[in-house]
Structure 1
Amino acid sequence: MTKIHVDPSHLTASVLTPPLSKSDAQRALVLAHLTGAWPLPLLDEEPEHFLAADVRVLRRGIEALRLPPGPVRDVDCADGGAPFRILVTQSAVTPGAHVRLTGTPRLGERPHGPLFESLREALGPSGLSLTEGHPWPVEIRAPSASGEPVFRVPGAQSSQYASSLLLGCAALYLRERRPWRVEIIGPLTSAGYLDLTVSWLRRFGFTVRESEGRLEVTDYRAPDRTPALPGDWSSLGYLLLIAWRTGGSVERADLASAHPDQALVRLVERAGLSTSPGPDGTLRMTGTARDGLVASGKECPDLLPTLAALACVLPRPSTLTDVGILRLKESDRLEGIRTLVDAFGGSALLEGETLTIQPPTSHPPHFSMDSRGDHRQAMVAATLSVLSGVPLTLTGPECVEKSFPGFWQQLERTGVRLTT
């Protein structure tokens, strides 16, 4: 497997650019498809090599759904959990669609059952056929009609189920002109991502009524213009910390974004850091680290590995709560965090759902990490290298293509030397 050596010994200030937001782009792609705003101008103008792999996967899947009814449509979802779950529902609500979805072994291991069962319960009586391989392919034949206008789904494992179904409600509302709703059973994990879905529905002209555990699409009025896409806050997490270390700044940082990972701006304040917009439209992070962090996986699970990297260079311990959800990502990110902290010479104590990170008393001369094919683990390790000034040997750097294809080029802008 490929290895890359990261040398952060010659850092310089620079303006860093994240890709367009993966989470925002995925929601906007579906809604542009449903409302006739296809293709999305800004996304279409972005260089293909700078688009996150998950965005490219979802765009290909939607393009397949836009074809006239006919032979089975094969869609490879690669390792994209959100694209796969979105496409499952969109396939099920596209009249006459016959879609065969495949993906990586790891994607097949991730939990999807609650989404499948919700679709079968709501659309099965009308003729939906949804069959699973072991684990691939997942084959869907969509019905031409529907019954009771409600999807019921548990909220504990992932908010992606509810988001996927709510986008399905938008499709069904446009087709049938009657309200459709999602009823969430039990507590909801990562509620911020569902809030992001609601925000995009409203920006595209849908009326969404919210009550306890229930969201209903009740109306649609076309907006005056297609909403713009912001920068990716998950990627901005790495770049803002790197810019703090180098004295640089970042572009495309929308402080009004509904993305859950924008919580970084608030969470780092406890450690003594703050962000401020510059006159050129960029965003800077400044301050001196004086304390540890406290963050929850219920609020921003994808941000926790990034915060763990920062925790390794803070003067006091940090606490991450509700960390069990990290085991269900592209890799077991909870173990990934513990491996990173251990490789850097710190300690990570897990007690139930709480992880306490104790930074090392002194930095090692060098550390090594294996990405395990997980894009976030790769970028988090590189971020820690820059934050600490400690050289890194990383196995499997190519996986950053999933969410941030230009990450290594952005790192080189800061003077980091990359060799293989």
Structure 2
Amino acid sequence: MSLSLPEDTSLPRGAALHPVRVPGSKSVTNRALLLAAVAPGRSRFRGGLEAEDTRWMRRALAGLGLEVQEEEGTWTIAGGGRPRAAAPLWLGASGTTLRFLLPWLALKAEGPVRLEGDPRLFERPLGPLLAPLEALGATWEPDAKGAWLRPAARAPERLDLAVDARLSSQFLTGLALTAAALPGGGTLHWAEVASPSYLALTTQWLRRFGCEARLEPGRWDIPGGALAPRDLDLPGDWSGAAAFLAAAAVTGRSLRLAPLDPEDAQGDRTMVAILEAGGCRARWTGTQELELAGPLQRGLDWDLTDCPDLGPVLAALTALAPGPSELRGLHTLPLKECDRLDASAELVRWLGGSAEVIGGHTLRVQPGPRPGPRPPFNPRNDHRMAFAAAVGGLRCGGEVLDPHCVAKTFPDFWDVWRGMLGC
């Protein structure tokens, strides 16, 4: 199945796009869900992301014996107990669900846990997370359909671990969330970390649950025994907002988005600074409403080490920019739901530009003429590649295969996209 991308050329330049309400954040929602699971007591959330990745997390928690209630946009989780799986846990393609759950289950589960999911989930790196857990006595037994996790015979009072976090900051986040549930907490050390902004996001949410974690370069101190249940409104998703912000930059029109938190630790909040550096104008019109106006006036030159998930949308934008661009810090993109670095280069070419991948971490883009008829773009079952194709389609039209892959984090993306355009 494919979906035709509407070109925006019929819309007057400079006019306003229809306001957009962005969904909740996957990164925040899954952190909050696990913190609610390990904090003793009953937590309530509003504004959580309703999508595949967060659904797998909620179902996994319920499958581990926790009380999880969902009613009229409010989720209630009764936490603090030891997890026990009566049946296999299906995790879909959710890397955050797997990597956040693993340390907790390895140290706290009552009995073995069977984990299953999409094949790509278990192809993505896990070794640097499994190594310290196995050193603590857990065992990991992978097979063709998933793996058995057998927990350590006794959970330590405290963690003091050196972690290889070069491939993913999620390894550190999973360990930090579990350390906060131990009596003595823990200290994590590393020499280099991918996407370090996500550690700041985790620290922000540990603190919101009562754990005053201290994050320093190469070191994370997590107090134990301090977690408490919370009643919270979760913020909107800067990652989900990125394609819409790019749409304002492409079309030269203004757009308002809400609810977004200007103080949010989400790394993808950098999208605003990137677009301002390219000549767009941004201002806050309310406490949680952002207005951004295009057009993009020059190519982009940016290091995305702190926010690599912006890579695909920015690749599409650079293909339509007034000049050449260079995006750096993309070394983790080949390890995502698909090889996003290769797919982003393919997307640029699909949009008529030229793309060069340099050293496995840099994408150099030269815009080209508007492309003619061409085959549909294949997002490789990756939601962020589909979002990026939508941005490119604003000027170049075309078709995208498998449009429903957006359900991973933004199920009604296409409806919201057409609503933004007034279609």
Q: Same fold by TM (over 0.5)?
A: yes
The residue number in structure 2 matching 1:332 is: 339
What is the Cα deviation at residue 252 of structure 1?
1.0
The residue number in structure 2 matching 1:34 is: 38
How far apart, CA to CA, are the structure 2 residues paired with 1:60 and 1:14?
35
Q: Is 2:14 the counterpart of 1:4?
A: no
What is the Cα deviation at residue 412 of structure 1?
1.7
- The gaps in structure 2 that reach 5 residues or longer are 67-81
The residue number in structure 1 matching 2:242 is: 237
Deviations 1:305-345 (A, max 9, x none): 11111111211111111222111110010111111111111
Give 1:380's match in structure 2, choosing from 370, 375, 388: 388
The residue number in structure 2 matching 1:208 is: 213
Deviates more, 1:55-64 or 1:129-138: 129-138
How far apart, CA to CA, are the structure 2 residues paired with 1:340 and 1:54?
25
Deviates more, 1:34-43 or 1:377-386: 34-43
How far apart, CA to CA, are the structure 2 residues paired with 1:278 and 1:96?
50
The residue number in structure 1 matching 2:141 is: 131
Deviations 1:224-262 (A, max 9, x none): 953431101100101222245353311112111100000
What is the Cα deviation at residue 74 of structure 1?
1.3
How far apart, CA to CA, are the structure 2 residues paired with 1:104 and 1:151?
30
What is the Cα deviation at residue 29 of structure 1?
0.7
SS of 2:220's partner is strand
For 1:312-391, list aligned pairs within 5 A.
312-352=319-359, 353-360=361-368, 362-366=369-373, 368-386=376-394, 388=395, 390-391=396-397
How far apart, CA to CA, are the structure 2 residues paired with 1:342 and 1:152?
42
Deviations 1:125-160 (A, max 9, x none): xxx333222462233335343266323310211111
Counterpart amino acid of residue 256 in structure 2: S
The residue number in structure 1 matching 2:179 is: 169
Q: Is 2:199 the counterpart of 1:194?
A: yes
Query: Given that residues 72 and 100 in structure 1 are in contact (C-alpha distance below 8 angstroms), is that contact kept between their aligned partners in structure 2?
Result: no
How far apart, CA to CA, are the structure 1 residues paired with 2:150 and 2:415?
40
What is the Cα deviation at residue 35 of structure 1?
1.6
| 1:70 to 1:411, Cα distance in 2 relative to 1, 3 A | closer
How far apart, CA to CA, are the structure 2 residues paired with 1:224 and 1:76?
26
How far apart, CA to CA, are the structure 2 residues paired with 1:97 and 1:39?
26
Counterpart amino acid of residue 207 in structure 1: E
| 1:280 to 1:85, Cα distance in 2 relative to 1, 3 A | closer
What is the Cα deviation at residue 170 of structure 1?
1.1
Counterpart amino acid of residue 75 in structure 1: L
Higher percent of residues as helix: 1
The residue number in structure 2 matching 1:92 is: 106
Q: Is 2:162 the counterpart of 1:152?
A: yes
SS of 2:355's partner is strand
| 1:112 to 1:223, Cα distance in 2 relative to 1, 3 A | closer
How far apart, CA to CA, are the structure 2 residues paired with 1:247 and 1:269?
13
How far apart, CA to CA, are the structure 2 residues paired with 1:301 and 1:372?
18
The residue number in structure 2 matching 1:392 is: 398
SS of 1:205's partner is coil
Q: Is 2:140 the counterpart of 1:120?
A: no
SS of 2:242's partner is helix
Counterpart amino acid of residue 165 in structure 1: L
Counterpart amino acid of residue 96 in structure 1: E
| 1:168 to 1:392, Cα distance in 2 relative to 1, 3 A | same
Deviates more, 1:276-285 or 1:310-319: 276-285
Give 1:406's match in structure 2, choosing from 387, 401, 412: 412
Counterpart amino acid of residue 415 in structure 2: Q
Counterpart amino acid of residue 237 in structure 1: A
Q: Is 2:185 the counterpart of 1:179?
A: yes
Query: Given that residues 243 and 250 in structure 1 are in contact (C-alpha distance below 8 angstroms), is that contact kept between their aligned partners in structure 2?
Result: no
How far apart, CA to CA, are the structure 2 residues paired with 1:73 and 1:183?
35
What is the Cα deviation at residue 269 of structure 1?
1.7
SS of 1:32's partner is helix
SS of 1:338's partner is helix
Q: Is 2:254 the counterpart of 1:247?
A: yes
How far apart, CA to CA, are the structure 2 residues paired with 1:253 and 1:71?
36
What is the Cα deviation at residue 416 of structure 1?
6.4
The residue number in structure 2 matching 1:104 is: 118
Give 1:296's match in structure 2, choosing from 292, 303, 323: 303
Query: Given that residues 95 and 144 in structure 1 are in contact (C-alpha distance below 8 angstroms), is that contact kept between their aligned partners in structure 2?
Result: no
Counterpart amino acid of residue 290 in structure 2: L
Counterpart amino acid of residue 199 in structure 1: Q
What is the Cα deviation at residue 222 of structure 1?
5.8
How far apart, CA to CA, are the structure 2 residues paired with 1:247 and 1:297?
25
| 1:248 to 1:287, Cα distance in 2 relative to 1, 3 A | closer
Q: Between the two structures, name the one with larger relative contact order (CA 8 Å, sep ≥ 6).
A: 1
SS of 2:277's partner is helix
Counterpart amino acid of residue 16 in structure 1: V
Query: Given that residues 155 and 188 in structure 1 are in contact (C-alpha distance below 8 angstroms), is that contact kept between their aligned partners in structure 2?
Result: yes
How far apart, CA to CA, are the structure 2 residues paired with 1:397 and 1:145?
44
SS of 2:108's partner is coil
How far apart, CA to CA, are the structure 2 residues paired with 1:41 and 1:211?
29
The residue number in structure 2 matching 1:77 is: 91
How far apart, CA to CA, are the structure 1 residues paired with 2:162 and 2:145?
24
Deviates more, 1:345-354 or 1:110-119: 345-354
| 1:179 to 1:323, Cα distance in 2 relative to 1, 3 A | closer
How far apart, CA to CA, are the structure 2 residues paired with 1:312 and 1:70?
49
The residue number in structure 1 matching 2:65 is: 66
The residue number in structure 1 matching 2:78 is: none
Q: How many residues align?
A: 399
